[in-house]
Amino acid sequence: MAELLKVIFDHEGIFLHPTPDEGSPDQDLLVSGSLRIIEKDAEILVEYRPLEDSVDPSNMLCAGQDSSSVVEWAQCPGEKSQTRQLLETQQSYETEWDMVNAVSFKKKNYTNGESSLNHSHERSRWAFSVNISDLKSITVKEEGWTFLILQLKDSSSSVPALHFHQGGSREFLDSLRRFALLTKSPEDETRLLVSTPNKALSQSFENLLDDNNFGLIHKFKRDPYVATLGGFSKVTNYIYDALRGTEEQQQRPPEEVADLLGEVIPGLEINQQEEPGFEVITRIDLGTRPQVSRVEPVSADYWSKHQDPEGRIENEAALRQRIFKGGLCHAVRREAWKFLLGYYPWTSTLEERKSLQKTKTDEYFRMKLQWKSISEEQERRNSRLRDYKSLIEKDVNRTDRTNRFYEGLNNPGLTLLHDILMTYCMYDFDLGYVQGMSDLLSPILFVMENEVDAFWCFVSFMDQMHQNFEEQMQGMKTQLIQLSTLLRLLDLAFWNYLESQESGYLYFCFRWLLIRFKRELIFSDVLRLWEVMWTELPCQNFHLLVCCAILDSEKQKIMEENYGFNEILKHINELSMKLNIEEILQKAEGIYLQIRSCKDLPHSISSILGFDTQHRVSSQADSGSRPVQQQDACSNGHCRDNRPQNSCRGVFTS
């Protein structure tokens, strides 16, 4: 019977530094190999296998110098010749930056259950395999690079230290955390104590969850993107039991459930009586929801008619309204998105935009040169940059690969995606790269088809989304509270039902909010939704009303089928790629009009949707006074300080 083997983690370039005490005849010997975490016959193993020291030139990919244009990269036939084919003829205006090229490498993947058997005895002697249940602790050390010392429960056995010269230690530990609890030792902060669940519990998890969902609550805290995008459809009793306890236990009291959920998002505090800063909302008669119609997308002719002879946009307010009601035809998006995202000022002339573009091009390539010019020796001493680079390479290779712009091997679109994300790390090194950001960049690069323009538009979008990806995730905390508040107003019966199923915190909407419905809609619908939300109409936080519209469409099935905690998660996840964006936008706008017409609206709702701010600006305009810049709200309910000049305005409703 064939063994069942699944590769959980696989990283090459892990070195051993054998010492004479460990039986090495050569004190300078370095053993290079691959480190894997594998699932084999219901056991989780850490496996190290030495590699032969060889480089296959056919695996090297050559890059054209003009990396801001879309080019097809040809394989190097040898060390001397390089070829490339242009996919589109594009005159680059960044010729002075032609030296900033790019090189990437293909990676040979293991086939499950296969590895080379041709190692010499001298190298194969360093191979080892350890069951994680036999691990006692892992000590994390720094020596210009990170190396890990694995200590076994059996003190008579030992394994060599693992040296991560090329990064990957964080990913290894994160993968290990899916199957074991790693806690800092009170005596030594560099030492992580390893504890694993009992075998029966592990077996039950194995039957319920795939590798993307294992340890979901812990992953939620460490990596919300993977945890939410990993397939909620298969989540069953694990989260349910984690929140409620087993059948033998009494149901957890509400305050204890709140504490557990609060741990999912760091800093989240839940008041069982009422949310902090919001009054208790009782049933309010909102009246009949008006019917809303949408119009055709803005055409190229319509767009050009709103420009004066010098290229200034005329009647910006009317143009925004038209885009909100119908979106944009694809031919207009490349230019219009630059205005919607704040890269181009609405009042700028064509000449001013050309000058701005040249300035931004210089600024972009200076930042790109910073990471391109880092030597291997420097990178070896910069663990954060290595970690960012490793994450980016992994995410780029799995972002929108079914889209023609990114499909296939050696696709130039993937190279541009990689380079922009690496350069963003130079632009905002404190945030760097967090999983999920590639999903936000992909549609922008698809539309712009230009590295520099895509970068600065992405910067503007990230100004709105920044707090979604910060360690404390303040943006996600705020949005989930605000969404719950809105749903209580719109449909108290439905909210009470979700609350009775321990789903009142709406964590099943986490993925929607984190990357703005990117994984819920087909690609073309993502483009339509984003450009509509970037108009900043009809109110602040319109994306929360989009969430309400989707939930309103699904509430009947959820309640009639009497879905519980697990079924709600599964049902919401299975909506992916089945949503009709035009119907959703119609309903969301109808919800806005319904709420707007309510005379006795709770202050919390007015604050979430920005009605108080709109009223102040309107009153100032009526009295002839100068409107105050609306800088006290943004898409996540919080604004970042010190925005760059090219960033969007304070109020942003995407």
**545-597 per-position pLDDT tens digit:** 999 999 999 999 999 999 999 999 999 999 999 999 999 999 999 999 999 99
Instruction: Answer yes or no: is 90 within a domain.
Output: no
Across the chain, mean pLDDT equals 76
SS3 443: helix
Do 418 and 434 have their domain in common?
yes
Q: How far is CA 570 from CA 61, 136, 411, in A?
A: 41, 36, 34
Judge contact between 140 and 169, C-beta under 8 A.
yes
458 lies in the same domain as 478? no
Claim to verify: residue 443 and residue 358 sit in the same structural domain: yes
- 147 assigned to some structural domain: yes
Contact (CB, 8 A) for 549 and 587:
yes
Confirm whether 287 is domain-assigned.
Answer: yes
3-state helix/strand/coil string of 146-195: EEEEEEECCCCCCCCCEEECCCCHHHHHHHHCCCCEEEECCCCCCEEEEE
Beta bridge partners of 11: 35
Return the structure tokens found at 57.
Answer: 């030139």
Q: DSSP states of 352-385 as a string? A: HHHHHHHHHHHHHHHHHHHHHT--HHHHHT-HHH
Residues 139, 10 share a domain: yes
* Residues 600 and 497 placed together within one structural domain of the fold: yes
User: Can you name the residues that pair with 151 across neighbouring β-strands?
Assistant: 137
Lowest-pLDDT choice from 17-26, 510-519, 523-532 = 17-26
Mean pLDDT of 377-382: 92
Asked, for residue 108, whether it belongs to a domain, the answer is no
String of b and e for 210-238 (b: at least 16 CB within 10 Å)?
Answer: ebebbbbebbbeebbbbbbbbebbbbbbb
- Which residues are registered as beta bridge partners of 34? 12, 49
Instruction: Give the count of alpha carbons within 13 A of 298, CB side only.
Output: 24
Identify whether residues 185 and 206 lie together within a single domain: no
Q: Indicate if 459 and 559 belong to the same structural domain.
A: no
What's the pLDDT score for residue 56? 36
The CA distance from 174 to 179, in Å, is 10
511 pLDDT band (50/70/90 cuts)?
very high
Residue that terminates a domain, selected from 141, 163, 195:
195
Residue 328 near residue 298, CB atoms below 8 Å: yes
At residue 508, what is the residue type?
A: F
pLDDT at 149 over 60: yes
Provide CB contacts within 8 A for 526, sequence distance 6+. 443, 517, 518
Same domain? For 218 and 177 the reply is no
From 422, 416, 483, 421, select the one nearest 636 (Cα to Cα).
483
- Torsion sign over Cα 531, 534, 538, 540: positive
- Is residue 221 over pLDDT 60? no
**Positive or negative CA dihedral for 227, 233, 235, 240?**
positive
- Residues 427 and 444 grouped into a single domain: yes
pLDDT 10s digits, 583-637? 999 999 999 999 999 988 999 999 999 997 765 544 444 444 434 333 333 444 4
Q: pLDDT by residue (tens digit) across 58-111?
A: 333 333 334 443 433 333 344 334 333 333 333 444 444 544 443 333 333 434
CATH of the domain at 560: 1.10.472.80
- At which of 216, 237, 264 does a domain end? 264
pTM of the model: 0.60
CATH number at residue 130: 2.30.29.230
Same domain, 453 and 486: no
Helices and strands, number each (H, E), in the chain: 25, 13
Per 3-state DSSP, the chain is made up of helix, strand and coil in percentages (nearest 5) of 45, 10, 45
Higher pLDDT, 259 or 599: 599
Q: If pLDDT is split at 50, 70 and 90, which confidence band does 253 have? A: low
What pLDDT, on a 0 to 100 scale, did the predictor assign at position 473?
A: 85
pLDDT at residue 425 is higher than 50? yes
d(C-alpha 557, C-alpha 252), whole Å = 27
The enclosing H or E element of 10 equals: strand 5-16
Identify which of 475, 569, 520 has the alpha carbon closest to the alpha carbon of residue 265. 475
Residues 476 and 462 in one domain: no
In sequence order, which residues have a C-beta less than 8 Å from that of residue 468 and are 6 or more positions away? 436, 475, 476, 513, 514, 515, 636
Confidence (pLDDT) at 500: 94
Amino acid residing at 546: V
Assigned domain for 210 exists? yes
- 78 domain-assigned: no
Residues 398-422, mean pLDDT to the nearest whole number: 93
Question: Does position 125 have pLDDT exceeding 80, yes or no?
Answer: no
Instruction: Provide the domain count of the chain.
Output: 4
Measured in whole angstroms, the distance separating CA 542 from the mean position of its chain's CA atoms is 21
Q: Are 638 and 467 in contact (CB under 8 A)?
A: yes
**pLDDT for residue 180:** 86
- Count the Cβ atoms, other than its own, within 10 Å of residue 529: 26
Q: Up-side HSE of residue 249: CA atoms within 13 Å toward CB?
A: 10
Separation of alpha carbons 169 and 177, rounded Å: 12
pLDDT one-digit tens code per residue, 160-216 = 999 988 788 889 998 898 888 888 888 888 999 988 764 433 333 333 333 344 344
Looking at per-residue pLDDT, the higher value among 596 and 648 belongs to 596
Closest CA to 167 of 384, 9, 377: 384
Cα 631 from Cα 638, distance rounded (Å): 10
* Residue 241 reports pLDDT greater than 60: no
Residue 128 forms part of a structural domain = yes
Q: What integer pLDDT is reported at residue 423 of this predicted model?
A: 98
With H, G, I as helix, E, B as strand and everything else as coil, classify residue 248.
coil
pLDDT digits (tens, 9 = 90+) for 580-589: 999 999 999 9
Q: Residue 67 corresponds to which tokens in the numbers above?
A: 């990396």
In this prediction, residue 52 carries a pLDDT of 53
Percent above pLDDT 90 for the chain? 51
> Residue 176: inside a domain, yes or no?
yes
Domain hosting 240: range is: 202-264
Cis peptide leading into residue 224 (ω within 30°): no
DSSP 142: E
Task: Report the 3 state secondary structure along 45-103.
Answer: EEEEEECCCCCCHHHEECCCCCCCCCEEECECCCCCCCCEEECCCCCCCCHHHCCCCCC
Same domain assignment for residues 371 and 478: no
Q: What is the pLDDT of residues 494-503, one digit of tens each?
A: 999 999 999 9
The helix/strand/coil state of 234 is helix
Each residue's pLDDT tens digit, 292-346:
999 999 999 999 999 999 999 999 999 999 999 999 999 999 999 999 999 999 9
Last residue of one domain, picked from the residues 409, 433, 468: 468
